[in-house]
């Protein structure tokens, strides 16, 4: 039983850092000099976990009836559009003279949820859970995956927040991370 949880924990952490779309979605939200940016990562991870659990429940209950390929294609397009929106917002914000500190936890939760419903979440988050023969192990795997994703994104957000405080070049960092979100969002729309 412990193996299932630890495997989920590792997969959730790896999933966050292996997805440039995940990092690009959060980075523009955490650059403004506030020391509590881990909360934005926590909200993103919670949203991502909610999305993954929704997909898991649908797969477990309705796997034969769902057009998963169509759902995945449309959800990836929504991820691309949301990344472009974050990138445009971040570039607009970086052109302002002063970067103000605001909480973006709501936006972060929504972005995490969209990411949890799309793409490789099914591969890393849900499919391994379906492979366990005991339902309790599947649940432990999904719990570990969610906790791993939440912890990894909280750590990433805190790290980017500290870098922005340390170097104090908020507008430059915001512009760069927003440009990355635009590029990755464009790739999700065109290249997938």
pLDDT digits (tens, 9 = 90+) for 130-171: 788 888 998 899 999 999 999 999 998 888 888 877 776 666
Report the share of the chain in percent with pLDDT over 70.
79
All residues at 6 or more sequence positions from 9 whose CB lies less than 8 Å from its CB, including other chains: 144, 145, 147, 148
Per-residue pLDDT, 135: 85
Q: Which long-range contacts (CB under 8 A, 24 or more apart) does 101-106 make?
A: 101/32, 101/33, 101/34, 102/32, 103/39, 103/40, 104/29, 104/30, 104/40, 105/39, 105/40, 105/43, 106/43
- Quote the pTM value: 0.75
Residue 113 has pLDDT above 80, yes or no: yes
User: Which residues form the domain of 24?
Assistant: 2-190
* Joined tokens for residue 4: 């299932």
- Distance (Å, rounded) from C-alpha 21 to C-alpha 24? 5
In this prediction, residue 66 has a pLDDT band, given cuts at 50, 70 and 90, of: low
Give counts: helices (H), strands (E), the chain. Answer: 9, 0
In this prediction, residue 9 has a pLDDT band, given cuts at 50, 70 and 90, of: very high
DSSP symbol at 33: S
**Structural domains in the chain (count):** 1
40, 104 Cβ separation under 8 angstroms: yes
Helical pair 170-190 and 135-167, crossing angle rounded to 10 deg:
140
Per-residue pLDDT, 30: 81
- Distance (Å, rounded) from C-alpha 27 to C-alpha 12? 19
- Distance (Å, rounded) from C-alpha 52 to C-alpha 189? 21
């Amino acid at each position: 039983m412990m193996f299932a949880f630890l495997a989920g924990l590792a997969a959730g952490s790896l999933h966050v850092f292996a997805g440039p779309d995940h990092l690009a979605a959060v980075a523009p939200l955490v650059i403004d000099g506030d020391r509590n940016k881990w909360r934005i990562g926590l909200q993103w991870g919670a949203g991502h976990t909610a999305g993954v659990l929704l997909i898991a429940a649908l797969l477990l209950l309705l796997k034969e009836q769902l057009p998963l390929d169509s759902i995945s294609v449309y959800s990836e397009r929504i991820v691309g559009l949301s990344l472009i929106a974050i990138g445009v917002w971040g570039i607009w914000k970086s052109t302002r003279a002063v970067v103000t500190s605001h909480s973006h936890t709501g936006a972060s939760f929504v972005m995490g949820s969209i990411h949890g419903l799309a793409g490789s979440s099914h591969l890393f988050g849900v499919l391994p859970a379906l492979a366990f023969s005991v339902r309790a192990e599947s649940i432990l795997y999904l719990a570990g995956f969610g906790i791993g994703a939440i912890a990894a994104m909280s750590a990433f957000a805190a790290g980017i927040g500290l870098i922005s405080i340390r170097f104090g070049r908020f507008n430059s960092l915001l512009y760069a991370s927003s440009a990355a979100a635009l590029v990755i969002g464009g790739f999700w729309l065109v290249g997938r």
